[in-house]
C-alpha cells in the first residue's frame, strides 16, 4: 500500500505519517533533508525528528543524494515498511544539486522517475510525507516561485501513484482518497492509533470525481510518457474469457427475477463476465475517464478553434464541464491529456513518426498506470478541435466510405448550423484521402497521415488496456477511429470495447459496425464524446448488481417435476394434439 500524507509547515503531517507505520515494528526511515550549515533552527528540527523515532527504526540519510530515493524504493521488498520524510526536502536537495532555481520544469525528469518508483515499489507499506505550499501567497523570490510550482507538480505526480492521500491541517486528518483502506475516516491521529499489523492491500473506491491529472497545468502530455515504446502490427494481446462470458449469460436464466429478465442489458452482463473472468461479474468500482485534447489546423478544424478546445479542457480541469458532472454521478475519476497538435492533413501528414511513437507510448502508459492503481474500467472522451473530421478521415480511408456520409452538421458556439464550415471539412477530408491514395494503410502510417495526436494516444490506450485486461467504454468518433487502428495492431483489442450507444453519429455507426461493437442503448445524446458512456455507466452497474446479487431460483421439488412430466405426456397423447386445422367460415 502506498500512502501520501500532505500538510503545511507545523501541521502535524510527520506525526500522522509516523502513526501510520508505528504498528510495523521495524521501519526504514528515509530522511531527505540535508544538514543546514550554520542554521541552528533547522538543526533543531532535524534533532527533534530523530529523537521521536523508535530505536527499532532504521534511518537512512539521503541528504545531498536525492537520486538514491528512487533507487531505494525500486529495490524495496514485500516485508519492508518505508517512511519517506519528506518530498519538500528531496526537491530542495535536487535543485541545490544543480544550483539553478530558475525553471520549475527542470525537475520533471527526476519527478517522473520518482513517481514511477513509487508506483512500482514492492514494499508492504510505503508512507510518504509531502509539503503543501500551494495555499499560501505567491513567493516574491524566483527561487520561492520555482519551488512552489515544482512542489505542486511533484505532489500531483506522487498522489496519482499512491493508493491513498491524506491532508493534515492543525493536526486534523482529512483523507482525500483511500482512507477506508487504513482504518482512518478522518480526525486527529494520535501516536496510540497505530496502524493494524495486517493491512488490506487494495485501494478503496474513489470519492465521486477525484481529479488525478498530473503535469504542467494539471494536464498530462507526451512529455510525461518517458522512453518511447515500439509498436507494430501482429501484437499478441489477451482475449476476454469466453467461457465465463457464456456462464454469466446462462446464470441469468437461473435468477429469481420478478419479470422476464434484463432484456437489452444481457450483453452488458456477458461482456463483464468475459472481461472480469467470472460468471457473476460485479459492478465497476473504480472507473476512470481519459479526456483527450488534440487540435488540428486547416480544414479539419473548420467551425472550431484551439481557443474553444482550451476552454473545454479547462472546464474539465475545474470540474465544471458536463463530462465532469457525469463523472461525479458515475463515481469516476478524471484525467486530462494534452495530445500532440496535428497539422493540416489535407496538405501534408498530420504528425511525424516521432510524435506518433510518443503519443502511442503515452496512451499505453496511461492504461498501464490505471491498471496499477486499481482502475477497473476506462472511458474515452475527447474535446480537441477538428477531432470529428480526423476520425471521419480514418474511417473513410479504412472502410472506403464517402466523407459526406460520415460527417454530421457543424453547429457553432451560438447553436446555429454552419453549412460553410461543414463544406470546408468535407473538402479537407476528401483532399487528405486523395493525397494519401497510393500510400500504405499500415496503422502507424495511418496515424501519421490523418489520425493526429488524440487518436494516436487513444490507440495506445486501447492497446495498453487490452494488455492489462482492462475494458474500455467508447461512444464517439475518436474512440471508434482508435478502435479501427488498434485492431490493425492487435485484433484482440476490439473484444475489450463496450459501446453503449452510437448517438446517431454516422462515423461512429459505421466504425462500430465494422468493429462488431453493437450498442445496447439508443439515447441519442450530443453532449460531447464520453458523455453517453458516463450516462450509461450507472445503468451498467445496476444491471451487474442485479445479476450478481439476485438469488438463484430454487430447483423444483421432485414431486412437482413428476407432475409436470405427467401433464406433458397426457397432452402429447391427447387425441386433440394432432387434430387437423379446420378453417373458420370468416376466413373464406
Distance of alpha carbon 160 from alpha carbon 222, whole angstroms = 17
Q: Please, are residues 298 and 343 in contact by the beta-carbon 8 Å criterion?
A: yes
Cell of 69: 530515493
Q: Is 554 among the catalytic positions? A: no
Crossing angle of helices 453-467 and 353-372, rounded to 10°: 40
Neighbours of 157 (CB within 10 A): 21
Q: Please, are residues 475 and 521 in contact by the beta-carbon 8 Å criterion?
A: no
Q: Is 106 exposed, middle or buried (0-12, 13-18, 19+ CB in 10 A)?
A: middle
Crossing angle of helices 419-435 and 387-399, rounded to 10°: 40
Distance of alpha carbon 535 from alpha carbon 500, whole angstroms = 9
Distance of alpha carbon 285 from alpha carbon 287, whole angstroms = 6
Residue linked to cell 488525478: 212
Distance of alpha carbon 469 from alpha carbon 19, whole angstroms = 37
- 176: DSSP letter: E
What backbone torsions phi and psi does residue 185 show, to the nearest 5 degrees? Answer: -85, -15
Distance of alpha carbon 327 from alpha carbon 212, whole angstroms = 13
Cα angle for residues 507, 510, 512 (degrees, 5° grid)? 100
Instruction: From the candidates 529, 554, 566, 578, give the one annotated as an active-site residue.
Output: 529
Residue linked to cell 530558475: 102
Spell out the residues 6+ positions from residue 412 whose beta carbon is closer than 8 angstroms to its own. 303, 418, 421
Q: Please, are residues 74 and 30 in contact by the beta-carbon 8 Å criterion?
A: no
What backbone torsions phi and psi does residue 208 show, to the nearest 5 degrees? Answer: -55, 125
Whether the link from the prior residue into 484 is cis, omega within 30° of 0, is no
DSSP-assigned letters across all residues of 315-356? HHHHT-SHHHHHHHHHT-EEEEEEPPPB--TTTS-SS-HHHH
Cα angle for residues 90, 197, 11 (degrees, 5° grid)? 40
What backbone torsions phi and psi does residue 113 show, to the nearest 5 degrees? Answer: -65, -40
| DSSP 3-state of 235 | coil
Neighbours of 315 (CB within 10 A): 15
Q: Please, are residues 348 and 299 in contact by the beta-carbon 8 Å criterion?
A: no
Cell of 471: 475494458
What backbone torsions phi and psi does residue 75 show, to the nearest 5 degrees? Answer: -90, 5
Q: Where are the alpha helices (DSSP H) in 162-241?
A: none
What backbone torsions phi and psi does residue 229 show, to the nearest 5 degrees? Answer: -95, 170
Report residue 558 CA to chain centroid gap.
51
Residues with catalytic function: 529
Amino acid at each position: 500500500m502506498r500512502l501520501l500524507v500532505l500538510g503545511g509547515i507545523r501541521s502535524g503531517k510527520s506525526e500522522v505519517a509516523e502513526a501510520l507505520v508505528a504498528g510495523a515494528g521495524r521501519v526504514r526511515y528515509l530522511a531527505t533533508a540535508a544538514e543546514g550549515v550554520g542554521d541552528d533552527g533547522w538543526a533543531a528540527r532535524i534533532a527533534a525528528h530523530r529523537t521521536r523515532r523508535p530505536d527499532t527504526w532504521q534511518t537512512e540519510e539521503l541528504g545531498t543524494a536525492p537520486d538514491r530515493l528512487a533507487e531505494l524504493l525500486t529495490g524495496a521488498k514485500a516485508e519492508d515498511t518505508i517512511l519517506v520524510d519528506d518530498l519538500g526536502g528531496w526537491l530542495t536537495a535536487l535543485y541545490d544539486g544543480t544550483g539553478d532555481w530558475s525553471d520549475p520544469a527542470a525537475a520533471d525528469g527526476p519527478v517522473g522517475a520518482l513517481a514511477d518508483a513509487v508506483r512500482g515499489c514492492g514494499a508492504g507499506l510505503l508512507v510518504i510525507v509531502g509539503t503543501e505550499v500551494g495555499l499560501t501567497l505567491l513567493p516574491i523570490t524566483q527561487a520561492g516561485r520555482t519551488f512552489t510550482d515544482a512542489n505542486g507538480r511533484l505532489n500531483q505526480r506522487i498522489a496519482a501513484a499512491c493508493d491513498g492521500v491524506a491532508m493534515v491541517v492543525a493536526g486534523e486528518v482529512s483523507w482525500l482518497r483511500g482512507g477506508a483502506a487504513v482504518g482512518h475516516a478522518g480526525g486527529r491521529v494520535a501516536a496510540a492509533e497505530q496502524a493494524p499489523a495486517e493491512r488490506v492491500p487494495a485501494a478503496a473506491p474513489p470519492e465521486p470525481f477525484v481529479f488525478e491529472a498530473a503535469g504542467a497545468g494539471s494536464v498530462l502530455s507526451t512529455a510525461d510518457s518517458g522512453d518511447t515504446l515500439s509498436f507494430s502490427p501482429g501484437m499478441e494481446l489477451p482475449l476476454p474469457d469466453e467461457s465465463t462470458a457464456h456462464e454469466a449469460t446462462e446464470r441469468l436464466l437461473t435468477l429469481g427475477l420478478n419479470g422476464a429478465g434484463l432484456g437489452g442489458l444481457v450483453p452488458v452482463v456477458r461482456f463483464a463476465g468475459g472481461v472480469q473472468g467470472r460468471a457473476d461479474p460485479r459492478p465497476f468500482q473504480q472507473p476512470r475517464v481519459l479526456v483527450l485534447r488534440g487540435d488540428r489546423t486547416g480544414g479539419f478544424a473548420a467551425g472550431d478553434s484551439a481557443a474553444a478546445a482550451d476552454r473545454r479542457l479547462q472546464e474539465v480541469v475545474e470540474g465544471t464541464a458536463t463530462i465532469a458532472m457525469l463523472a461525479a454521478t458515475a463515481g469516476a475519476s478524471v484525467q486530462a491529456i494534452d495530445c500532440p497538435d496535428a497539422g493540416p492533413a489535407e496538405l501534408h501528414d498530420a504528425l511525424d513518426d516521432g510524435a506518433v511513437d510518443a503519443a502511442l507510448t503515452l496512451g499505453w502508459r496511461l492504461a498501464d498506470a490505471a491498471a496499477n492503481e486499481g482502475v477497473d474500467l476506462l472511458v474515452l472522451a475527447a474535446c480537441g478541435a477538428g477531432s470529428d473530421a480526423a476520425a471521419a478521415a480514418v474511417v473513410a480511408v479504412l472502410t472506403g466510405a464517402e466523407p459526406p456520409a460520415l460527417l454530421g452538421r457543424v453547429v457553432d458556439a451560438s447553436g446555429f448550423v454552419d453549412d460553410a464550415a461543414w463544406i470546408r471539412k468535407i473538402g479537407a477530408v476528401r483532399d487528405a484521402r486523395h493525397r494519401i491514395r497510393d500510400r500504405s494503410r499500415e496503422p502507424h502510417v495511418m496515424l501519421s497521415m490523418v489520425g493526429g495526436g488524440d487518436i494516436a494516444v487513444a490507440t495506445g490506450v486501447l492497446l495498453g488496456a487490452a494488455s492489462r485486461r482492462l475494458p474500455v467504454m467508447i461512444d464517439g468518433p475518436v474512440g471508434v477511429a482508435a478502435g479501427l487502428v488498434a485492431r490493425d495492431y492487435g485484433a484482440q483489442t476490439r473484444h475489450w470495447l463496450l459501446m453503449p450507444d452510437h448517438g446517431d453519429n454516422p462515423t461512429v455507426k459505421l466504425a462500430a459496425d465494422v468493429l462488431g461493437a453493437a450498442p445496447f442503448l439508443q439515447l441519442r445524446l450530443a453532449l460531447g464524446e464520453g458523455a453517453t458512456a458516463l450516462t450509461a455507466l450507472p445503468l451498467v452497474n445496476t444491471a451487474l448488481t442485479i445479476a450478481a446479487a439476485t438469488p438463484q431460483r430454487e430447483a423444483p421439488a421432485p414431486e412437482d417435476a413428476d407432475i409436470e412430466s405427467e401433464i406433458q405426456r397426457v397432452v402429447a397423447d391427447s387425441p386433440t394434439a394432432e387434430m387437423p386445422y379446420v378453417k373458420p367460415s370468416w376466413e373464406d
